[in-house]
Structures are given as structure tokens and as C-alpha cells.
């Protein structure tokens, strides 16, 4: 149960290419997993790494595809090894436009969006964030509840980072480069959308909790139980063992799938719609090499939209190591 709560909290915070694409005109089957755990080839029961995928889509129309247009969906885990984020920064240089997620306000003078936890109504340098009319209509309790929810999510991010000895995405991804394009909601818009759907952070958490219980029963033979967590807590290499337990949970769960689709949720469906609208604008401007950097839980729904709404096909997949789960030579894991 404790593992399940940790996983749900982790989900809420979450969120080298082949030079030649497949020459076959037939589209490959779209992947259904965007996070995986790999095992040591010499010791198949020993975890080696947790990986996230980069999947490429090109137009189904061969003539259009030959112009060089493609869209890469780049799955993210919001906390990871520093090397993971550094590698992603290098990958991002290859795109004409890199669309990214961040529930944040657009800076009124053209700077980078301001994260919710950093925003102030009157900033110290004299600039102000323009208030959304929706905000004035929300009653105090709703506004307080949303802020509390965002604060909890932020706390989960920091707590998970420290517990697992990992780095935080926003501390290592360079959002200042010119090809970065904000493709997400403002805090006010996100709150408004959740309210219209009758959602809140509490209902979302409970929905994930119920789905997680069902998933746990389905994967009972695969997923680690409370005993694994107990071993992790008392291990002489607790950080690594906890990472392995959480990595297995990530690899086995698909509880976010039900939050996508037309009737899904604000956190997946509605934000994906925003990202797809930004993608459409970039393509209409003639941008060809496009990446979309979003939480891995968003990619299943995004893949369906690229196929159904953009008439594209999946052609390639590559994996990047997000967590190193190997045991260093000078340490042993207690069991």
C-alpha cells in the first residue's frame, strides 16, 4: 500500500536518434509502453536501468514524409539522474522546435514561463503577471484548494528526488534555448479546466489510487509488495533498493491510460489538446523537425492523436537511460 501511494505521488509529478527511418511504407504498430526497466544480461533477475522512450512519427503521405517532416514524442520522468537530463539537453538541440510541458504563466515581456511555485502577483523587478479574469470569479476556497494541491505536488517532487537521490527536471533542463516552445496551460486555465470537469487534486488522487489497486491485483505476481519496500527501507544501500522498487512499479503500471482519451482528465486529455494545438501551429508555420517533451504518461494519448488527427504513422523508437540501477562495485545490497 505504501508503494502504491508513493507511485501515485510520483505519477502526479510526472510527466541518439536513428539517422534513417524505416523505408517500409507500412506503419509499425504504435508502442503501448514508454517506460521500461532493463535487466543485467548476465544476471537476468538484477535490474540494470530504467529507461524512457523517444518515438518518431512521420506523415503517412510518402511525398510529405520525404520533405523531412517528423514529430518525436520524448517521454519524461520528472526526476532522474543528472546525466539523463544532460543527454536530453543535447538531444533537444536537433529540433527546429521543442514543445514542452509546464503548468506556468507566460512572461509578459517575452521571457520563459514562470512556474506556479515561483509566481508572484508583483515581482521584485516591477514586472507583473497579468491576472486572468477567471481568477477573480473563483471563490476563495476553490483558489486555496488549487494552490494547496499544487503545493502538495511540488512537495512530492522534492520528496521523491531526495528519497531516491535523483535530480529534478526543472533544475537541469535548459528552458532558455531559442527552440523551446511552451505547450501547456497556465495555472488559472488548468484550475478552470479541472473545475469544469468536476475534478480536483483529491478526486484525481483517489481515481489513481483505485486504478492502482486494480492494477496491483492484475500484476500481483509481477509487482513488488510491501515486503520489498520493507527490505528497501532497512537495506544498507536504501537509495538504490528504493530506486529498484519504484522502477519496477513504473515498468509494470499503466494506470494513467484511463486518464487519456476524449473522456479522460484535465491532467492528461486537456493538456494534450493544448500541446496538439501548439503542434498544429508550428506545422502550419512550416516547422519540420519537432519534438514534444512531455511526461511519459501523456504519450499513449498523444500517439493516438498523431495517428488519428494528424494522419501520421509511427516509424522508430529509441530508449534513453533515466535511472542507473546498477550496484557500484564497492557496495552490496542487503536482502
Taking residues 124-152, report their average pLDDT: 48
Taking residues 133-141, report their average pLDDT: 49
The set of residues, in sequence order, having a beta carbon less than 8 Å from that of 22 and lying 6+ positions away, is 28, 315, 316
User: What are the residue ranges of helices labelled H in 75-180?
Assistant: 82-92, 133-137, 140-164, 169-172
Q: How confident is the model at residue 159 (pLDDT cuts 50, 70, 90)?
A: low
Range in 65-74, 198-207, 264-273 with the lowest mean pLDDT: 198-207
> Do 52 and 14 meet the contact criterion of CB atoms below 8 Å apart?
no
> Cβ-count burial of 120 within 10 angstroms (0-12 exposed, 13-18 middle, 19+ buried)?
exposed
CA distance 315 to 57: 6
Please determine, for residue 67, whether its predicted confidence score (pLDDT) is greater than 90. Answer: yes
CA distance 290 to 72: 6
Query: pLDDT digit string (tens) for 301-310?
Result: 999 999 999 9
DSSP strand pairing (70-76 vs 289-295): parallel
C-alpha cell at 271: 493538456
Q: What is the pLDDT of residue 324?
A: 95
Domain boundaries, the chain: 2-120+129-324
Please determine, for residue 250, whether its predicted confidence score (pLDDT) is greater than 70. Answer: yes
Q: How confident is the model at residue 26 (pLDDT cuts 50, 70, 90)?
A: very low
Please determine, for residue 259, whether its predicted confidence score (pLDDT) is greater than 80. Answer: no
Residue given cell 476556497 in the structure block = 141
Amino acid at each position: 500500500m505504501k508503494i502504491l501511494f508513493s507511485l501515485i505521488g510520483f505519477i502526479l509529478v510526472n510527466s541518439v536518434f536513428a539517422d534513417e527511418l524505416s523505408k517500409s511504407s507500412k506503419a509499425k504498430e504504435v508502442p503501448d509502453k514508454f517506460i521500461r526497466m532493463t535487466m543485467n544480461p548476465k544476471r537476468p533477475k538484477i535490474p540494470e536501468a530504467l529507461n524512457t522512450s523517444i518515438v518518431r512519427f512521420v506523415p503517412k503521405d510518402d511525398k510529405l514524409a520525404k520533405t523531412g517532416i517528423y514529430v518525436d514524442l520524448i517521454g519524461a520522468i520528472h526526476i532522474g539522474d543528472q546525466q539523463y537530463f544532460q543527454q536530453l539537453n543535447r538531444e533537444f538541440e536537433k529540433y527546429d522546435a521543442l514543445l514542452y510541458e509546464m503548468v506556468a504563466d507566460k512572461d509578459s515581456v517575452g521571457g520563459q514561463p514562470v512556474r506556479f511555485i515561483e509566481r508572484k502577483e508583483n515581482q521584485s523587478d516591477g514586472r507583473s503577471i497579468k491576472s486572468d479574469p477567471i481568477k477573480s470569479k473563483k471563490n476563495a476556497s476553490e483558489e486555496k484548494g488549487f494552490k494547496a494541491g499544487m503545493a502538495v505536488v511540488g512537495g512530492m517532487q522534492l520528496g521523491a528526488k531526495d528519497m531516491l537521490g535523483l535530480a529534478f527536471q526543472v533544475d537541469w533542463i535548459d528552458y532558455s534555448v531559442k527552440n523551446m516552445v511552451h505547450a501547456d496551460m497556465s495555472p488559472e486555465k488548468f484550475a478552470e479546466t479541472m473545475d469544469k470537469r468536476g475534478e480536483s487534486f483529491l478526486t484525481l488522487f483517489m481515481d489513481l489510487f483505485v486504478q492502482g489497486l486494480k492494477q496491483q491485483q492484475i500484476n500481483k505476481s509481477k509487482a513488488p509488495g510491501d515486503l520489498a519496500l520493507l527490505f528497501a527501507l532497512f537495506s544498507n544501500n536504501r537509495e538504490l533498493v528504493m530506486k529498484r522498487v519504484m522502477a519496477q512499479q513504473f515498468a509494470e503500471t499503466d494506470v494513467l491510460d484511463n486518464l487519456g482519451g476524449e473522456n479522460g482528465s484535465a491532467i492528461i486529455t486537456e493538456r494534450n489538446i493544448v500541446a496538439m494545438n501548439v503542434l498544429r501551429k508550428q506545422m502550419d508555420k512550416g516547422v519540420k523537425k519537432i519534438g514534444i517533451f512531455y511526461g511519459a504518461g501523456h504519450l499513449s494519448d498523444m500517439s493516438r492523436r498523431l495517428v488519428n488527427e494528424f494522419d501520421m504513422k509511427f516509424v522508430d523508437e529509441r530508449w534513453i537511460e533515466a535511472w542507473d540501477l546498477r550496484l557500484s562495485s564497492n557496495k552490496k545490497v542487503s536482502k
